[in-house]
């Protein structure tokens, strides 16, 4: 479990960045949480393939956690922005 959390702390900023790039091409943000999770899993698997192929499942789970964390971070940012308006 600690490996998953440690890896997700590395992958989460990458997911936020990738999602930010994808977000510039979208008008409707309804699918953004799903895109976050998919991007997280893909980045986690890519991370595992390049650095630790024997831990592929751990990094895939870490990517999923990172995608969920990135989605929560996005929602938190939206709620703060909407409170200011």
- pLDDT tens digit sequence for 14-61: 888 988 898 888 888 778 888 888 999 999 999 899 988 898 999 999
Q: Report the distance separating Cα 19 and Cα 7, nearest Å.
A: 18
For residue 73, what pLDDT is reported?
Answer: 64
Segments making up each domain of the chain, as ranges: 2-84
Residue 83: is its pLDDT beyond 60? no
Nearest 10 degrees: Cα torsion 20, 83, 72, 33: -60
In this prediction, residue 82 has a pLDDT band, given cuts at 50, 70 and 90, of: low
Which residue has 């409170």 as its token pair? 83
For residue 45, what pLDDT is reported?
Answer: 93
């Amino acid at each position: 479990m600690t490996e998953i959390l440690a890896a997700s702390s590395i992958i989460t900023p990458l997911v936020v960045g990738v999602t930010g790039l994808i977000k510039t091409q979208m008008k409707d943000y309804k699918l953004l949480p799903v895109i976050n999770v998919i991007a997280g899993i893909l980045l986690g698997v890519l991370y595992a393939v390049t650095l630790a192929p024997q831990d592929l499942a751990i990094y895939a789970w870490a990517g999923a956690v990172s995608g969920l964390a990135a989605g929560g971070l996005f929602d938190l940012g939206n709620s703060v922005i909407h409170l200011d308006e």
